[in-house]
Structure formats: structure tokens, C-alpha cells
């Protein structure tokens, strides 16, 4: 055997003997729920900016539509709790009661305002008793459009050198479709206009309704996430078969966090099988929503006696991360980043 061949064989043998190192699992995403909404009025540009400063990977705008078909970021289409509309005499006559997905709701609704009219309103803290520090920023900002949130994420990506993703939620899409304002087509068009209509774009589109996500499957290439609460739901996340069914039209599942780490005897119990079943179905898992205030924590994680005091959020976040999730929603992105380590 000549020297060249012996050298080649020796090199091949050494390569075969070298252990293959597993690629490290990506860190779970920190998703800023309505921005840093524990510290600034939710769905404002200041809340999103603070979330990015705190290290959030994605920012989440809930999307509703105006009368002239423009997407704006609000938790609900009823806006008396998040704006100063109730104090505006010029809009007093627009107060009404509507049936929104089977619930009677009284107030002022985005679909009864043009974008120009909504822009005259000012945002305010939705939970001032629990978040008085955030309430000090009331009245400082207008309602942002989804395009403004996209522009912010793009500008902050350039500024920070980190990719800042977008996690829009379609709110009440069936209701909006019934009144002639289709969300799915409008959202697909807007994403395409911004070069975000792609499975590799930093975008997840989420919804509590499976029908609109199925519609998006045929017209939109962005990733889709099925949201599920602890109560009655139109999909099953408590069996492997249920998760497989979701995987037919979604890329991920967003369960309310006790579906991943249940509350047992006032504390945190062992994780459920949800993450394992979802991963077997090739679904990502992004639980919602971790909040710091005692009002939102299990009894054993509360600290102090006041509902607004902050409890042991780190213990909750660590338990959720330990369950193997791919991301987590939080009103306090800095706490989620810190617990992630």
C-alpha cells in the first residue's frame, strides 16, 4: 500500500472515531406580550421599545381593524379600557353594545372609527390598580398601526444587531369577517408588502380560532400558532392525536402556561406531556402569559399580601423552561431573559 493511500485511510479512520457533537438546542424565545406591558401601557411603541431593550426576541401586537380596514395594535376591538375614548365628548354617541363572539360587550369599538379618528386618542394602562407605575405614562402615546410596529422591529433590528421578530395575533377574525372586514387576506397582503410572507421570516401569526389559521395555510407562508386556554377550546391539546391534528394547519401551539406546568396544591406540579406530544408532532410550544404580580401567580409563589406585589416569577419561568418549551410569553421580558440565563 502506498504512502498516500495509507495516509488517506488513517485520516478516514480518525474521522470515523471522532464523536459527532450534538448541536446545542436554541435558547427558548422570549416573547414580549403586548410589549413590556407590565411596565408601560400595552400595545404602545414605548412598550415595544422597552421590551427590545430588555432583550425580547419577539414583540407581540394584538391586531384589530378600523372602519377603513387598517390594522391597529389593541388587546380588543373594544377600547374604553386602553384609551381615553370615554372622556372624548366628540365620540360619546358611538358608545354601543355589540355581540362579540357570543359575548355582550358595551363600549367603543375600533371598527366604528377611521384610522385618523383613532389616532386622536391616547393610550392608557388597562390595569392601573395592579400597575400604577405604568399608569404614570398614560396619555403619552397614540394607538400604533401594525405597519408602525413592523417599522419599529426593522429599525431596532438594525440598531441592535439582533433580529427582532413579530408575533401578531388576529383578534376576533370571524367577527370581523362577518362585518365585511376580512383579516386573513389583509394580513397576508401586509406581510408580503414588507417581505415577511415567508416560513423563514421572523414572524409567527397566532389565533384562538382554527378556521382562520386553516385559511392562512392556503394563502400565507408565514408560520402559524394555535392558541389554547385552560377552558373549553375548539382543539385538543391533551392527547398526542390532538396535537397531530393541530400540526395539519399550524407550526406551533400556544397553550396557557398551566397546561404545561400545572398548578398542584397551590404550587407548581410536574410538567404535563404536552411539550413532548407537540414536539413529536413537530410543533413548537410557546406558553402564555407569565406575569409578575401576585394576582396572577399560584398561592405558593405569591410574596407579600398585596395583589400588585411581585411574587416568585423566576421559579415559574424556570419550571416552564425546564419543561422543554421553545419560547414563553411574558409581560416582563427582562425577567424572562434573566431566568433563561
Active site residues: 33, 75
Q: What is the pLDDT of residues 196-239, one digit of tens each?
A: 999 999 999 999 999 999 999 999 999 999 999 999 999 999 99
Residue 68 and residue 82: Cα distance in Å, rounded?
A: 21
Tell me if 174 sits within 8 A of 63, measured CB to CB: no
What per-residue confidence (pLDDT) applies to 8?
Answer: 46
- For the chain (length 341 residues), average pLDDT per consecutive 10? 48 49 82 98 98 98 98 98 98 98 97 98 98 98 98 98 98 98 98 98 98 97 98 96 98 98 98 98 98 98 97 98 98 98 89
| Closest to 255 (Cα-Cα) out of 240, 235, 280 | 235
**Four-way CATH pick for 25-77+131-340: 3.90.1010.10, 3.20.20.190, 1.20.1050.10, 3.20.20.370:** 3.20.20.190
Neighbouring CB atoms inside 10 A of 68's CB total: 13
Residue 149 and residue 49: Cα distance in Å, rounded?
A: 10
Longest dimension (CA), the chain: 96
Tell me if 153 sits within 8 A of 59, measured CB to CB: yes
Average pLDDT, the chain: 94
Q: Indicate the domain borders of the chain.
A: 25-77+131-340
Contacts for 153-161: CB closer than 8 Å, 24+ residues apart: 153/48, 153/59, 153/202, 154/194, 156/49, 156/52, 160/52
Amino acid at each position: 500500500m502506498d504512502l498516500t493511500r495509507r495516509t488517506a485511510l488513517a485520516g478516514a479512520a480518525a474521522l470515523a472515531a471522532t464523536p459527532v457533537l450534538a448541536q446545542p438546542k436554541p435558547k427558548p424565545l422570549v416573547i414580549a406580550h403586548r410589549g413590556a406591558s407590565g411596565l408601560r401601557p400595552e400595545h404602545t411603541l414605548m412598550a415595544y421599545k422597552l421590551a427590545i431593550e430588555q432583550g425580547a426576541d419577539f414583540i407581540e401586537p394584538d391586531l384589530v381593524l378600523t372602519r377603513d380596514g387598517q390594522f391597529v395594535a389593541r388587546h380588543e376591538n373594544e377600547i374604553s379600557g386602553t384609551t381615553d375614548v370615554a372622556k372624548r365628548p366628540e365620540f360619546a354617541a358611538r358608545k354601543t353594545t355589540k355581540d362579540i363572539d357570543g359575548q355582550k360587550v358595551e363600549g367603543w369599538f375600533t371598527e366604528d372609527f377611521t384610522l385618523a379618528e383613532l389616532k386622536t386618542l391616547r393610550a392608557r394602562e388597562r390595569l392601573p390598580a395592579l400597575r400604577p407605575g405604568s399608569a404614570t405614562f398614560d396619555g403619552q402615546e397614540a394607538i400604533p398601526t401594525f405597519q408602525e410596529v413592523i417599522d419599529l422591529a426593522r429599525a431596532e433590528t438594525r440598531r441592535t444587531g439582533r433580529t427582532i421578530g413579530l408575533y401578531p395575533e388576529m383578534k376576533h377574525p370571524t367577527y370581523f369577517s362577518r362585518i365585511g372586514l376580512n383579516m386573513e387576506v389583509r394580513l397576508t397582503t401586509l406581510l408580503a408588502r414588507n417581505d415577511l410572507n415567508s416560513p423563514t421570516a421572523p414572524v409567527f401569526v397566532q389565533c384562538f380560532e382554527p378556521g382562520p389559521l386553516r385559511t392562512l395555510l392556503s394563502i400565507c407562508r408565514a408560520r402559524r400558532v394555535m392558541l389554547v386556554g385552560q377552558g373549553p377550546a375548539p382543539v385538543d391539546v391533551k392527547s398526542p392525536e390532538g396535537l397531530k391534528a393541530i400540526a395539519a394547519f399550524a407550526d406551533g401551539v400556544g397553550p396557557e402556561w398551566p397546561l404545561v406546568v400545572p398548578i398542584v396544591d397551590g404550587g407548581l406540579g410536574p410538567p404535563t406531556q404536552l411539550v413532548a406530544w407537540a414536539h413529536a408532532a413537530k410543533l413548537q410550544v410557546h406558553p402564555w402569559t407569565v406575569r409578575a404580580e401576585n394576582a396572577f401567580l399560584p398561592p405558593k409563589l405569591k410574596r407579600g399580601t398585596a395583589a400588585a406585589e411581585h411574587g416568585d416569577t423566576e421559579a415559574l419561568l424556570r419550571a416552564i423552561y425546564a419543561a422543554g418549551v421553545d419560547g414563553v410569553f411574558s409581560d416582563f421580558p427582562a425577567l424572562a431573559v434573566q431566568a433563561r440565563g
